[in-house]
Structure formats: structure tokens, C-alpha cells
Structure 1
Amino acid sequence: MKILTIDDQQLILLSVEKRLTDLGYEVKTANSGTAGIAAIDTFDPDMVIVDINMPDLTGIEVIQHIRMVRKLEIPILVMSGNTNEKIILESYNLGIDDYMKKPVSLDEMEARINRILGNNFVQHYTETNVDTKIIGQYGVGVVIPCYNEGNRLSSALFQDFIDKNVGYHLCFVNDGSTDHTLEVLEKLRKGNKASISIVNCEKNGGKAEAVRQGIHYLSQQNDFDFIGYLDADLSTDFRDFDDLVKTIGNSDFKIVSGSRITRMGANIAKESARKIISKTINLIIQSILGMPFKDTQCGAKVMDKEIASLMFKNKFRTKWLFDVEIFMRMRKHYGKKNAKNMICEQPLKRWIHADGSKLSMKDSIKIIGQLGQIALHYK
């Protein structure tokens, strides 16, 4: 039996194709509504799986073509992050067989296909090879800057995350490392080329430029709704980052920034001296911004793809304070009032200071002078 899968996110297409192929189906993928409609004629599928939100033709238009133009009665399964009740009802009124809301596991997808097509054909997975991958609601690119991280980069944690989450793409930026960081990254990417990319900078340019290069790379791709960045030491872990993604996906915010402000119920640990300096710097930053954000320097942020491309278009003036510059650029471009409404500062549930931080206490003192430069430049 043949299944046509239509989705504009390549990461999702690859994972669905592999799962269905392993089950014994003949599979064809299309990364747009237009390509999907063309494939219906050439592939003659026994079932169509289609996303709703696509940039050219929507899933609704594809369904209309199948049911009203071609008058085909083949099963249609919608798999989409669109949870609008009107869209769901319209899909059923047009004659779809089922509607799966992302996030959804590949196991659930298989079960729904089995229900529609029958169980006789499918080669079921055994308990020892069950696939626990989750197809996310959004396409998310994550930049992870790396400088001499060879000895502390937790490859197992990154591997485990991409093994379980479809829709995330990790872009590691090797910032001119002098150790074996690049070798570690290349080993991690082996077998994960669809989910991991590496931007290799020959010279060390600092965290600001490393993140900018990564975001510039991801901005050229079509797979992502949101782009963010995360520290290589995973002081903010993936659970909290995923919470940031959920917040921006279910709101009108353009940037959601993690906050390490200590609060009841959160596991926030810092060195005592570092904590005092951080508080002092944060007070200065709030004064410069004129906006009530308490932890601009948290290394976990996610933003709308277009905003990311705009805010990271030009080089930053500082190597470490680019987070402050992002907020200043937002204020300058959109105005103070609008910028405040476009940015959400979300407390993290956990954050642990990792040993081996590249930012020394001496660097922290230099930051105060650099903040003065930022204030003058963006005045």
C-alpha cells in the first residue's frame, strides 16, 4: 500500500517516511501543498497524510482538491499543530478520516493509520523496538555555541533529545576551538545529519558572533517556525527550553527569554560571588534598557524566525552582552512600548551553573564598561 505525506517541515517528513517504510508501506513525501497535489496524480496513493499550515497551499486546499476537484475517496489523515476548532470541523466536513493534533508520537500515528487501513498489512514493532519519537507542534532551530567544549559536551543528552523529538534541529557553532570540540561534534552529527548541523568558524569570534552565525545559517532554512539558542553546558536543560517554545507558540510574543531569577519551587544554583555580581549587572542593565526585564543574560532564548533574522542581521558591538543588544535593537526598531509587549521573560524551573564557564570574574567587571558603550551606541 502507498502513503503520500505532505508537510513543509523536512524533519517531520524524514521521520514519518522512515517509520512508515519500516512498517512496509511504499512512501512518497511532498514538502508543499502544490507538490502534494502533483504527487497525487503521479503516485496514486492509498492514503494521504497532510499538514494544515503550509506556506503555499494550505492543507484545507489540498483536502478540497482531493475531495471536490478530483472526487477521490482515499483516506485522508490530518497531522497538524493547528488546533483551531473551526479548521478541525471544516476538515471533517470536507471528508477527512481523522485529525491528529501535534505534538503526537509516531506510535499514535501508526495506531491511527492501522484503524483506518486495517491491521492486516502493517508489520508491527515489537516491545524492544518501539519508537518513542514525538512529532512536535513547531519546527524549531536551536543554536548551540561551542568554544573548547570537547571535554564537557554531553553528547548523550543531545543525542537523547533528538532521538525523542521530531521538529527540533540543533545547530552547533564551533567558535574556533583549539581542542577536540570539532571532532566531538562531527561524531555526534554522524547518523544525525537531518537533525544536527555544524557551522565551523576558523577563528574565535566570541559568543555573540558564534550565535549570530548560527542564526544566520538557520534563517536560510524553510523548516523552522522559531529559532533560539542554548548554552552548550545545558545549564538550562531541554525541558525548560521546550517550555519557552510552548509559550511563544501559544502567544503573540516574538521573543521568550529564560530567567534565572530565584523563585519558590525552582532549582536555581549559582556561585555566591557570581550571584552578587549578576545582581549588580542586572540592575545596571535594567536602568539602560528602561524596561523591567530582570535577567537579559540568560543563555536560553527562542524567537520568531523573522525577528531572529532581523535582530541578528548585523554584528554586535560586544562579545558577551549581545543579549542586551537584542533588547536594545528591539526597543529601537519597534519602540519601547511595543518592544515590552513583544518580549516575555519566563522563569526557569531549573538552572545550574556549570563548572568551566568561559566568563571569569575579571570579565564580569569589564562588562560594566561595555554596558556604557552599548548605552551610548543605541541611544
Structure 2
Amino acid sequence: MNTNFDLAIVIPCYNEAERLKINQYKNFIKNHKEVLLCFVNDGSTDHTYKVLKEIKNHNPSQVLLINQTANLGKAETVRTGILKCHQKYHVEKLAYLDADLSTSLEECTSISKEISTTTYCAFGSRIAKLDSTIQRKSYRFLIGRIIATLISRQLNLNVYDTQCGCKVFHSNLVTELFKEKFISRWLFDVELFHRLIVLYGRDQLKHVTKEIPLKSWLDTEDSKVPLSYFFKLWIDLISIGKAYKNSNNLIVIEHETILE
């Protein structure tokens, strides 16, 4: 069994059976032997787990499948996958990516190449440019920009897009960034930036992270974030802001997972 990979990509999955692009995953696995894919089934109620097992059986040595017995939310699902990959494999870079491949596996791999001895975190950004294809529904774009502006002000960082679901980290950061449970099920990206600020300070953080404009991003139907969360989001943001004034407020909660 191969335990050495250049990159591990964690893919959280909740009721994704109809949206998983099986052939794209299989082709990527075939053409990128240096990459480990880690699928984490977040207590799906459809046949997501069955589809994921099909992908794993295609090349078991390159796929880690984790089955959570309850729906714990994207934040905890990503955290579980990142920590399992870090513990089980020798891997230099770890990333997470949305299961619908709004950002492609290939682009995530390309972004991972930005990680170096001086860059410890690289993340995709949905910045529309002449040479890019960024397709977002108008209402999502407008809501997203409002949220992004508030997040940037809370962080006091000039970040355009904290919420893009493609982020890559050097393995040396994993323990400090992911050892503690996140406060919010959906805004954990914001918490990651807060944790990076705690580690490096705002001034130094600018020198060890890179925000990479995506070449392509395709909006998909059936978002897993309920529209009603837009109203709860503000409460989460306030809670996060208060919590990270004192980083000792974080709490570790154990849960049951099945590793295959």
C-alpha cells in the first residue's frame, strides 16, 4: 500500500449521489498517481456511500473513504478528513475541495504547486477576469460579496474570497489549524483565517499565504447550504469574532467515524 503522496485532497460529501462526477474522479486518479483523494461521507441519507465505494474500488490505494455515522456538517467533515490523511499518510500538502467539482481537481492540484518553503497556504479565489470563466448566479454573487466584505472587515485582511471551497495547506500547519473543532458548520473558512492570524499575525500572514484567481468556477444547482442559513450566518460571524479574541475558547468534541 502506497502511503507517500505529494497532495491529499479531502472531499466532503452529503447526499451527493446524483452530483458526483464519477468518470472525472476516475480519470483524475488514473492520471495523478501522486495525489490521494479522501472522501468523507457526512451521514448521507441517499446512496452517496455506494457511489463513493465504486470510486474507491477503481483504485483502492489512491482513495481513502471515511464514513461518518451522523451528519456533522461540512466543517467537521473536512476537519476529520484532513486529520486522518495527516495521521495515516506521508503527505506534504493537504487540501479540501467541494464534491461537485465547481473547482476542478486539476485546478486544485495546480494551486497546490504554490505551496513551498515560504508559502504555507494557497487558496482559490473567484475573481472574474478576461482570461477566466467564473459562472455564478447573480443573487449568489451579490449575497456573496456582502458576506465577503463583512468577513474581510472582521479579519482586518484584504481577502477577496474567503469562502471558495478550494484551499491547500502545508502539512506543517495541519495540527495547529485543525486540531480543534470549529464553531460554525459552514463558516469554518473564516475560522481558518483567524487561526492563521493567531499563528503568524496579520503582517506576516500576507507573506506566507497566496490568493490564486481561479481559471474556472462553475456554479451548481442544489446548494448544500440552506437559504435560511443566510439569517443565521450573522450570528455565526459574531460568535466567531468573539471567540477568536481569545483562542483558548475552542472546544474539542469527539465523534464516531468509520475508516476504510
Task: State if a TM-score over 0.5 links the two structures.
Answer: yes
- The answer as to 2:170 corresponding to 1:178 is no
Count of aligned pairs: 245
Question: Residues of 2 paired with 1:214 and 1:191: CA distance?
Answer: 20
Q: Name the counterpart of 1:156.
A: 23
Contact 2:3 2:88 in 1 (8 A): no
Q: Name the counterpart of 1:376.
A: 242
Q: 1:290 aligns with which of 147, 151, 156?
A: 156
Residue pairs, 1:191-340, within 5 angstroms: 191-249=58-116, 252-340=118-206
Contact 2:14 2:42 in 1 (8 A): yes
Residue pairs, 1:79-94, within 5 angstroms: none
Question: Residues of 2 paired with 1:354 and 1:175: CA distance?
Answer: 19
> CA-to-partner distance for each residue in 1:341-370, whole Å, 9 max, x for gaps?
221111000001111111133212321221
Deviation at residue 222 of structure 1 after TM alignment = 3.7
Unpaired segments ≥5 residues, structure 1: 1-8, 13-137
What SS is found at the alignment partner of 1:248?
coil
Q: 2:2 aligns with which of 10, 29, 32?
A: 10
Question: Residues of 2 paired with 1:150 and 1:334: CA distance?
Answer: 40
Q: Name the counterpart of 2:222.
A: 356
Contact 1:140 1:224 in 2 (8 A): yes
Deviation at residue 155 of structure 1 after TM alignment = 1.0
Question: Residues of 1 paired with 2:231 and 2:218: CA distance?
Answer: 22
Q: Name the counterpart of 1:91.
A: none
Which letter does structure 1 place at the counterpart of 2:14?
Answer: Y
What SS is found at the alignment partner of 1:288?
helix
Q: Which has the higher contact order (CA 8 A, sep 6+)?
A: 2
Question: Residues of 2 paired with 1:335 and 1:203: CA distance?
Answer: 36
Question: Residues of 1 paired with 2:154 and 2:95: CA distance?
Answer: 24
Contact 1:10 1:223 in 2 (8 A): no
Contact 2:43 2:70 in 1 (8 A): yes
Deviation at residue 180 of structure 1 after TM alignment = 0.4
Which letter does structure 2 place at the counterpart of 1:315?
Answer: K
Q: Name the counterpart of 1:365.
A: 231
* Aligned sequence identity (%): 38
Superposition CA RMSD, Å:
1.5
Deviation at residue 152 of structure 1 after TM alignment = 1.1
> CA-to-partner distance for each residue in 1:155-180, whole Å, 9 max, x for gaps?
11000001001110000000000110
Q: 1:189 aligns with which of 56, 60, 73?
A: 56
Question: Residues of 1 paired with 2:178 and 2:32: CA distance?
Answer: 26
Question: Residues of 2 paired with 1:301 and 1:275: CA distance?
Answer: 20
Which letter does structure 2 place at the counterpart of 1:267?
Answer: T
Deviation at residue 333 of structure 1 after TM alignment = 2.2
What SS is found at the alignment partner of 2:41?
strand
Which letter does structure 1 place at the counterpart of 2:218?
Answer: I
Question: Residues of 2 paired with 1:195 and 1:146: CA distance?
Answer: 18
TM-score w.r.t. structure 1 length?
0.63
What SS is found at the alignment partner of 1:10?
coil
Question: Residues of 1 paired with 2:105 and 2:54: CA distance?
Answer: 21
What SS is found at the alignment partner of 2:61?
coil
Deviation at residue 219 of structure 1 after TM alignment = 0.7
> CA-to-partner distance for each residue in 1:61-82, whole Å, 9 max, x for gaps?
xxxxxxxxxxxxxxxxxxxxxx
Question: Residues of 2 paired with 1:252 and 1:263: CA distance?
Answer: 27
Contact 1:11 1:167 in 2 (8 A): no
Question: Residues of 2 paired with 1:10 and 1:252: CA distance?
Answer: 28
Contact 2:10 2:97 in 1 (8 A): yes
Which letter does structure 2 place at the counterpart of 1:357?
Answer: S
